[in-house]
Structure 1
Protein backbone atom coordinates (compact mmCIF):
# COMPACT_ATOMS: atom_id res chain seq x y z
CA UNK A 1 0.00 0.00 0.00
CA UNK A 2 1.32 3.42 -0.96
CA UNK A 3 1.34 5.90 1.92
CA UNK A 4 1.32 9.64 1.54
CA UNK A 5 4.60 11.11 2.75
CA UNK A 6 2.91 14.35 3.87
CA UNK A 7 0.20 12.58 5.85
CA UNK A 8 2.80 10.33 7.48
CA UNK A 9 4.89 13.33 8.52
CA UNK A 10 1.78 15.11 9.81
CA UNK A 11 0.92 12.09 11.97
CA UNK A 12 4.52 11.83 13.15
CA UNK A 13 4.07 15.09 15.06
CA UNK A 14 2.52 12.83 17.72
CA UNK A 15 5.26 10.29 18.49
CA UNK A 16 4.13 6.88 17.32
CA UNK A 17 1.13 7.96 15.25
CA UNK A 18 3.17 8.27 12.05
CA UNK A 19 4.54 4.78 12.54
CA UNK A 20 1.02 3.45 13.03
CA UNK A 21 -0.08 5.21 9.83
CA UNK A 22 2.71 3.41 7.98
CA UNK A 23 1.52 0.08 9.42
CA UNK A 24 4.25 -0.20 12.05
CA UNK A 25 1.88 -0.61 14.97
CA UNK A 26 4.40 -2.21 17.36
CA UNK A 27 6.91 0.61 16.85
CA UNK A 28 4.16 3.22 17.16
CA UNK A 29 2.92 1.82 20.45
CA UNK A 30 6.46 1.59 21.80
CA UNK A 31 7.18 5.22 20.89
CA UNK A 32 3.89 6.45 22.39
CA UNK A 33 4.45 4.42 25.54
CA UNK A 34 7.98 5.78 25.94
CA UNK A 35 6.90 9.37 25.26
CA UNK A 36 3.92 9.39 27.62
CA UNK A 37 5.70 7.38 30.33
CA UNK A 38 8.41 10.04 30.45
CA UNK A 39 5.80 12.79 30.65
CA UNK A 40 3.99 10.93 33.44
CA UNK A 41 7.13 10.26 35.45
CA UNK A 42 8.54 13.77 35.09
CA UNK A 43 5.22 15.38 36.09
CA UNK A 44 4.14 12.95 38.81
CA UNK A 45 7.42 12.58 40.61
CA UNK A 46 8.85 16.03 39.89
CA UNK A 47 11.75 14.56 37.95
CA UNK A 48 12.01 17.39 35.46
CA UNK A 49 15.37 16.17 34.19
CA UNK A 50 13.54 13.36 32.35
CA UNK A 51 11.89 15.95 30.12
CA UNK A 52 15.23 16.27 28.31
CA UNK A 53 14.38 13.03 26.50
CA UNK A 54 11.05 14.27 25.13
CA UNK A 55 12.47 16.31 22.21
CA UNK A 56 14.82 13.44 21.38
CA UNK A 57 11.90 11.01 21.09
CA UNK A 58 9.82 13.58 19.22
CA UNK A 59 12.52 14.32 16.62
CA UNK A 60 13.37 10.63 16.31
CA UNK A 61 9.73 9.93 15.53
CA UNK A 62 9.55 12.62 12.86
CA UNK A 63 12.81 11.72 11.12
CA UNK A 64 12.23 7.98 11.34
CA UNK A 65 8.76 8.30 9.78
CA UNK A 66 10.18 10.54 7.05
CA UNK A 67 12.91 8.01 6.30
CA UNK A 68 10.52 5.06 6.32
CA UNK A 69 7.93 6.84 4.18
CA UNK A 70 10.55 7.26 1.43
CA UNK A 71 11.32 3.52 1.28
CA UNK A 72 9.82 1.61 -1.58
CA UNK A 73 10.20 -1.89 -0.14
CA UNK A 74 7.72 -3.21 2.41
CA UNK A 75 8.27 -2.10 5.99
CA UNK A 76 8.84 -4.65 8.74
CA UNK A 77 7.20 -3.99 12.10
CA UNK A 78 10.00 -5.00 14.47
CA UNK A 79 10.90 -3.61 17.87
CA UNK A 80 12.52 -0.20 18.07
CA UNK A 81 16.30 -0.36 18.52
CA UNK A 82 15.97 0.69 22.17
CA UNK A 83 13.68 -2.28 22.86
CA UNK A 84 15.44 -4.79 20.57
CA UNK A 85 18.09 -5.70 23.16
CA UNK A 86 15.48 -6.26 25.84
CA UNK A 87 13.48 -8.60 23.61
CA UNK A 88 16.58 -10.61 22.69
CA UNK A 89 17.63 -11.26 26.30
CA UNK A 90 17.01 -14.84 27.22
CA UNK A 91 16.22 -14.12 30.85
CA UNK A 92 13.28 -11.94 29.78
CA UNK A 93 11.59 -14.86 28.03
CA UNK A 94 10.51 -16.16 31.42
CA UNK A 95 7.15 -14.47 32.00
CA UNK A 96 7.45 -14.64 35.79
CA UNK A 97 10.71 -12.68 35.59
CA UNK A 98 9.05 -10.01 33.44
CA UNK A 99 6.24 -9.78 35.97
CA UNK A 100 8.87 -9.43 38.71
CA UNK A 101 10.49 -6.45 36.94
CA UNK A 102 7.11 -4.83 36.36
CA UNK A 103 6.35 -5.34 40.05
CA UNK A 104 9.63 -3.61 41.01
CA UNK A 105 8.79 -0.67 38.75
CA UNK A 106 5.30 -0.37 40.24
CA UNK A 107 6.68 -0.53 43.79
CA UNK A 108 9.20 2.24 43.06
CA UNK A 109 6.52 4.38 41.41
CA UNK A 110 4.24 3.77 44.41
CA UNK A 111 6.99 4.87 46.79
CA UNK A 112 7.57 8.04 44.77
CA UNK A 113 3.84 8.71 44.68
CA UNK A 114 3.49 8.16 48.43
CA UNK A 115 6.37 10.54 49.12
CA UNK A 116 4.91 13.17 46.81
CA UNK A 117 1.22 12.91 47.73
CA UNK A 118 1.19 11.86 51.40
CA UNK A 119 4.43 12.47 53.23
CA UNK A 120 5.28 15.87 51.72
CA UNK A 121 1.86 17.49 52.43
CA UNK A 122 1.89 16.25 56.03
CA UNK A 123 5.45 17.39 56.66
CA UNK A 124 4.82 20.78 55.07
CA UNK A 125 2.69 21.75 58.07
CA UNK A 126 5.63 21.33 60.44
CA UNK A 127 8.78 21.85 58.39
CA UNK A 128 9.85 24.54 55.93
CA UNK A 129 9.25 23.52 52.31
CA UNK A 130 12.91 24.06 51.38
CA UNK A 131 13.98 21.27 53.74
CA UNK A 132 11.17 19.02 52.58
CA UNK A 133 12.22 19.45 48.96
CA UNK A 134 15.85 18.65 49.84
CA UNK A 135 14.73 15.57 51.76
CA UNK A 136 12.52 14.44 48.90
CA UNK A 137 15.35 14.84 46.39
CA UNK A 138 17.65 12.91 48.70
CA UNK A 139 15.20 10.01 49.11
CA UNK A 140 14.47 9.77 45.38
CA UNK A 141 18.19 9.91 44.56
CA UNK A 142 18.99 7.17 47.08
CA UNK A 143 16.22 4.96 45.67
CA UNK A 144 17.42 5.44 42.07
CA UNK A 145 21.06 4.84 43.01
CA UNK A 146 20.08 1.70 44.94
CA UNK A 147 18.12 0.34 41.99
CA UNK A 148 21.02 1.06 39.64
CA UNK A 149 23.54 -0.58 41.98
CA UNK A 150 21.25 -3.59 42.40
CA UNK A 151 20.95 -3.95 38.62
CA UNK A 152 24.72 -3.63 38.09
CA UNK A 153 25.39 -6.15 40.85
CA UNK A 154 23.06 -8.60 39.11
CA UNK A 155 24.82 -8.08 35.77
CA UNK A 156 28.29 -8.62 37.26
CA UNK A 157 27.28 -11.94 38.78
CA UNK A 158 25.78 -13.03 35.45
CA UNK A 159 28.92 -11.96 33.59
CA UNK A 160 31.15 -13.85 36.04
CA UNK A 161 29.06 -16.99 35.75
CA UNK A 162 29.10 -16.58 31.95
CA UNK A 163 32.91 -16.30 31.96
CA UNK A 164 33.29 -19.55 33.88
CA UNK A 165 31.00 -21.25 31.40
CA UNK A 166 33.11 -20.01 28.49
CA UNK A 167 36.33 -21.13 30.16
CA UNK A 168 34.89 -24.60 30.85
CA UNK A 169 33.89 -25.04 27.21
CA UNK A 170 37.47 -24.41 26.01
Structure 2
Protein backbone atom coordinates (compact mmCIF):
# COMPACT_ATOMS: atom_id res chain seq x y z
CA UNK A 1 0.00 0.00 0.00
CA UNK A 2 1.45 3.29 -1.13
CA UNK A 3 1.15 6.77 0.34
CA UNK A 4 -1.85 8.91 -0.59
CA UNK A 5 0.30 11.97 -1.33
CA UNK A 6 3.49 10.20 -2.49
CA UNK A 7 2.41 7.22 -4.62
CA UNK A 8 5.98 6.13 -5.26
CA UNK A 9 6.61 5.64 -1.51
CA UNK A 10 5.29 2.86 0.66
CA UNK A 11 2.84 3.82 3.42
CA UNK A 12 3.77 3.04 7.01
CA UNK A 13 0.85 4.60 8.94
CA UNK A 14 -2.80 5.62 8.70
CA UNK A 15 -3.97 9.17 9.41
CA UNK A 16 -6.45 9.28 12.29
CA UNK A 17 -8.47 12.06 10.59
CA UNK A 18 -8.69 11.27 6.89
CA UNK A 19 -7.90 7.51 7.26
CA UNK A 20 -5.53 7.67 4.30
CA UNK A 21 -2.24 5.76 4.17
CA UNK A 22 0.76 8.01 4.61
CA UNK A 23 4.52 7.63 4.28
CA UNK A 24 7.12 8.68 6.88
CA UNK A 25 7.54 12.04 5.13
CA UNK A 26 3.86 12.88 5.65
CA UNK A 27 3.59 11.41 9.15
CA UNK A 28 3.31 13.72 12.17
CA UNK A 29 3.04 12.42 15.74
CA UNK A 30 0.63 14.30 18.04
CA UNK A 31 0.14 12.88 21.57
CA UNK A 32 0.73 9.28 20.48
CA UNK A 33 -1.58 9.80 17.51
CA UNK A 34 -0.58 9.77 13.86
CA UNK A 35 -1.84 12.46 11.48
CA UNK A 36 -0.86 13.52 8.01
CA UNK A 37 0.66 16.88 7.20
CA UNK A 38 -2.26 17.82 4.94
CA UNK A 39 -4.87 17.42 7.69
CA UNK A 40 -2.72 19.35 10.15
CA UNK A 41 -2.34 22.28 7.75
CA UNK A 42 -6.10 22.32 7.12
CA UNK A 43 -6.82 22.43 10.85
CA UNK A 44 -4.31 25.22 11.49
CA UNK A 45 -5.60 27.41 8.66
CA UNK A 46 -8.62 29.56 9.59
CA UNK A 47 -10.39 32.72 8.55
CA UNK A 48 -9.90 35.43 11.22
CA UNK A 49 -12.82 37.51 9.94
CA UNK A 50 -15.35 34.70 10.26
CA UNK A 51 -13.91 33.14 13.43
CA UNK A 52 -13.56 36.28 15.53
CA UNK A 53 -17.22 37.17 16.11
CA UNK A 54 -18.04 33.58 17.08
CA UNK A 55 -15.24 33.37 19.66
CA UNK A 56 -15.51 36.84 21.21
CA UNK A 57 -18.87 38.02 22.57
CA UNK A 58 -19.84 41.58 21.86
CA UNK A 59 -19.93 44.11 24.66
CA UNK A 60 -23.33 45.38 25.72
CA UNK A 61 -24.09 49.09 25.98
CA UNK A 62 -23.97 49.17 29.83
CA UNK A 63 -20.57 47.44 29.76
CA UNK A 64 -19.24 49.94 27.22
CA UNK A 65 -20.60 52.84 29.25
CA UNK A 66 -19.04 51.50 32.47
CA UNK A 67 -15.71 51.08 30.70
CA UNK A 68 -15.94 54.68 29.46
CA UNK A 69 -16.51 55.83 33.05
CA UNK A 70 -13.57 53.73 34.25
CA UNK A 71 -11.32 55.22 31.56
CA UNK A 72 -11.93 58.70 32.99
CA UNK A 73 -9.99 57.65 36.13
CA UNK A 74 -6.28 56.95 35.49
CA UNK A 75 -5.64 53.24 36.00
CA UNK A 76 -9.25 52.14 36.65
CA UNK A 77 -9.90 50.95 33.08
CA UNK A 78 -6.64 48.98 33.13
CA UNK A 79 -7.82 47.18 36.26
CA UNK A 80 -11.13 46.42 34.54
CA UNK A 81 -9.11 44.74 31.77
CA UNK A 82 -7.18 42.70 34.34
CA UNK A 83 -4.00 44.80 34.16
CA UNK A 84 -3.86 45.40 37.91
CA UNK A 85 -0.12 46.11 38.11
CA UNK A 86 -0.20 48.70 35.35
CA UNK A 87 -3.41 50.28 36.63
CA UNK A 88 -2.11 50.51 40.19
CA UNK A 89 1.11 52.16 39.01
CA UNK A 90 -0.88 54.73 37.03
CA UNK A 91 -3.02 55.53 40.07
CA UNK A 92 -0.03 55.84 42.40
CA UNK A 93 1.88 58.09 40.00
CA UNK A 94 -1.13 60.33 39.33
CA UNK A 95 -2.76 60.72 42.73
CA UNK A 96 0.43 60.25 44.73
CA UNK A 97 2.17 62.91 42.67
CA UNK A 98 -0.76 65.29 43.12
CA UNK A 99 -0.79 64.75 46.89
CA UNK A 100 2.98 65.22 47.20
CA UNK A 101 3.08 68.36 45.06
CA UNK A 102 0.08 69.81 46.89
CA UNK A 103 1.75 69.13 50.23
CA UNK A 104 4.99 70.77 49.12
CA UNK A 105 3.11 73.79 47.83
CA UNK A 106 3.91 73.56 44.10
CA UNK A 107 0.28 73.65 43.01
CA UNK A 108 1.17 75.03 39.59
CA UNK A 109 2.83 71.69 38.70
CA UNK A 110 -0.37 69.66 39.20
CA UNK A 111 -1.65 70.18 35.59
CA UNK A 112 1.68 68.87 34.28
CA UNK A 113 0.91 65.59 36.08
CA UNK A 114 -2.86 65.32 35.62
CA UNK A 115 -3.08 66.06 31.88
CA UNK A 116 -0.36 63.66 30.59
CA UNK A 117 -1.42 60.87 32.95
CA UNK A 118 -5.11 61.28 32.11
CA UNK A 119 -4.66 61.33 28.32
CA UNK A 120 -2.19 58.43 28.44
CA UNK A 121 -4.47 56.30 30.60
CA UNK A 122 -7.60 57.13 28.58
CA UNK A 123 -6.26 56.38 25.10
CA UNK A 124 -4.15 53.39 26.13
CA UNK A 125 -7.07 51.73 27.92
CA UNK A 126 -9.27 51.98 24.81
CA UNK A 127 -6.40 50.75 22.65
CA UNK A 128 -5.90 47.74 24.92
CA UNK A 129 -9.65 47.04 24.91
CA UNK A 130 -9.65 46.94 21.09
CA UNK A 131 -6.71 44.55 21.17
CA UNK A 132 -8.56 42.26 23.59
CA UNK A 133 -11.68 42.31 21.41
CA UNK A 134 -9.57 41.24 18.41
CA UNK A 135 -8.28 38.27 20.39
CA UNK A 136 -4.77 39.64 20.84
CA UNK A 137 -2.98 38.92 24.11
CA UNK A 138 -2.36 41.88 26.45
CA UNK A 139 0.37 41.61 29.08
CA UNK A 140 0.23 43.20 32.53
CA UNK A 141 3.70 44.76 32.40
CA UNK A 142 5.23 47.65 34.29
CA UNK A 143 4.38 51.18 33.23
CA UNK A 144 7.92 52.11 32.06
CA UNK A 145 8.65 48.74 30.49
CA UNK A 146 9.16 48.65 26.69
CA UNK A 147 7.74 52.09 26.10
CA UNK A 148 8.46 54.48 23.25
CA UNK A 149 11.06 56.26 25.38
CA UNK A 150 13.46 54.24 27.51
CA UNK A 151 13.90 55.96 30.87
CA UNK A 152 16.22 53.29 32.28
CA UNK A 153 19.50 55.27 31.86
CA UNK A 154 17.93 58.34 33.48
CA UNK A 155 16.48 56.33 36.37
CA UNK A 156 19.86 54.68 36.99
CA UNK A 157 21.72 58.02 37.07
CA UNK A 158 21.77 59.12 40.73
CA UNK A 159 23.32 62.48 39.90
CA UNK A 160 20.49 63.44 37.55
CA UNK A 161 17.90 62.28 40.09
CA UNK A 162 19.71 64.27 42.78
CA UNK A 163 19.66 67.50 40.78
CA UNK A 164 15.96 67.00 40.00
CA UNK A 165 15.09 66.43 43.66
CA UNK A 166 17.09 69.50 44.72
CA UNK A 167 15.33 71.72 42.18
CA UNK A 168 11.90 70.50 43.31
CA UNK A 169 12.85 70.99 46.95
CA UNK A 170 14.16 74.53 46.38
CA UNK A 171 11.03 75.49 44.42
CA UNK A 172 8.79 74.12 47.16
CA UNK A 173 10.79 75.88 49.87
CA UNK A 174 10.76 79.24 48.09
CA UNK A 175 7.05 79.02 47.38
CA UNK A 176 6.25 78.13 50.98
CA UNK A 177 8.45 80.92 52.37
CA UNK A 178 6.80 83.39 50.01
CA UNK A 179 3.34 82.18 51.05
CA UNK A 180 3.94 83.08 54.68
CA UNK A 181 5.90 86.30 53.86
CA UNK A 182 8.93 85.06 55.72
CA UNK A 183 11.30 87.88 54.82
CA UNK A 184 8.99 90.83 55.62
CA UNK A 185 7.90 89.21 58.87
CA UNK A 186 11.31 87.93 59.90
CA UNK A 187 11.60 90.46 62.71
CA UNK A 188 7.94 90.40 63.73
CA UNK A 189 5.70 87.59 64.92
CA UNK A 190 4.92 84.78 62.43
CA UNK A 191 3.63 81.22 62.46
CA UNK A 192 6.65 78.97 63.05
CA UNK A 193 4.60 75.81 63.05
CA UNK A 194 3.04 76.25 59.59
CA UNK A 195 6.33 77.38 58.10
CA UNK A 196 8.31 74.46 59.50
CA UNK A 197 5.59 71.93 58.66
CA UNK A 198 5.47 72.98 55.04
CA UNK A 199 9.26 73.27 54.73
CA UNK A 200 10.01 69.81 56.11
CA UNK A 201 9.48 67.87 52.87
CA UNK A 202 11.40 70.38 50.69
CA UNK A 203 14.33 70.21 53.12
CA UNK A 204 14.29 66.41 52.92
CA UNK A 205 14.23 66.56 49.12
CA UNK A 206 17.22 68.92 49.07
CA UNK A 207 19.19 66.72 51.48
CA UNK A 208 18.28 63.59 49.51
CA UNK A 209 19.42 65.17 46.26
CA UNK A 210 22.73 66.26 47.81
CA UNK A 211 23.25 62.73 49.13
CA UNK A 212 22.66 61.17 45.70
CA UNK A 213 25.04 63.61 44.00
CA UNK A 214 27.79 63.03 46.59
CA UNK A 215 27.30 59.27 46.35
CA UNK A 216 27.54 59.37 42.55
CA UNK A 217 30.69 61.50 42.73
CA UNK A 218 32.32 59.00 45.09
CA UNK A 219 31.47 55.90 43.06
CA UNK A 220 32.64 57.24 39.70
CA UNK A 221 36.33 57.67 40.66
CA UNK A 222 36.43 54.16 42.14
CA UNK A 223 34.93 52.71 38.95
CA UNK A 224 37.41 54.68 36.84
CA UNK A 225 40.28 53.47 39.00
CA UNK A 226 39.24 49.83 38.64
CA UNK A 227 38.94 50.22 34.86
CA UNK A 228 42.43 51.76 34.67
CA UNK A 229 43.88 48.94 36.77
CA UNK A 230 42.23 46.33 34.57
CA UNK A 231 43.51 48.08 31.44
CA UNK A 232 47.06 48.21 32.81
CA UNK A 233 46.92 44.51 33.69
CA UNK A 234 45.81 43.66 30.16
CA UNK A 235 48.68 45.71 28.73
CA UNK A 236 51.20 43.98 31.01
CA UNK A 237 49.91 40.50 30.10
CA UNK A 238 48.68 40.68 26.50
CA UNK A 239 48.91 36.91 26.04
CA UNK A 240 46.63 36.15 28.95
CA UNK A 241 44.15 38.81 27.80
CA UNK A 242 43.92 37.20 24.35
CA UNK A 243 43.40 33.74 25.87
CA UNK A 244 40.62 35.13 28.10
Task: Using structure 2 for the length normalisation, give the TM-score.
Answer: 0.42
Structure holding more strand per residue: 2
Identify which of 91, 100, 118 aligns with 1:32: 91
- Alpha-carbon distance in structure 1 between the residues aligned to 2:88 and 2:58: 19
Identify which of 189, 195, 199 aligns with 1:127: 189
Aligned equivalent of 2:72: 13
Instruction: Choose between structure 1 and 2 for higher RCO, CA contacts under 8 A separated by at least 6 residues.
Output: 1
Give per-residue Cα distances to partners, 1:92-112, cap 9 Å, x unaligned: xxxxxxxxxxxxxxxx9xxx9
Task: Using structure 1 for the length normalisation, give the TM-score.
Answer: 0.57
**How many matched pairs?**
137
CA contact (8 A) 1:68 1:75 kept: yes
Give per-residue Cα distances to partners, 1:40-96, cap 9 Å, x unaligned: 2233332314413122211111122122222242111111107x849x97xxxxxxx
CA contact (8 A) 1:8 1:22 kept: no
1:75 aligns with 2:135: no
Structure 2 unmatched runs, 5+: 1-55, 146-150, 157-168, 177-184, 232-244
- Alpha-carbon distance in structure 2 between the residues aligned to 1:148 and 1:9: 41
1:62 aligns with 2:122: yes
Give per-residue Cα distances to partners, 1:125-158, cap 9 Å, x unaligned: x6357x9988888776554333222222223333
Note the 1:1-170 alignment, pairs <5 A: 6=64, 7-51=66-110, 52-71=112-131, 72=134, 73-81=136-144, 85=152, 127-128=189-190, 141-168=202-229
Structure 1 unmatched runs, 5+: 90-107, 116-122
Give per-residue Cα distances to partners, 1:26-52, cap 9 Å, x unaligned: 011111111221222233332314413
Flag the 1:33–1:169 CA change in 2: closer, same or farther, 3 A: same
Structure holding more helix per residue: 1
CA contact (8 A) 1:3 1:69 kept: no
Flag the 1:146–1:2 CA change in 2: closer, same or farther, 3 A: farther
- Alpha-carbon distance in structure 1 between the residues aligned to 2:128 and 2:227: 40
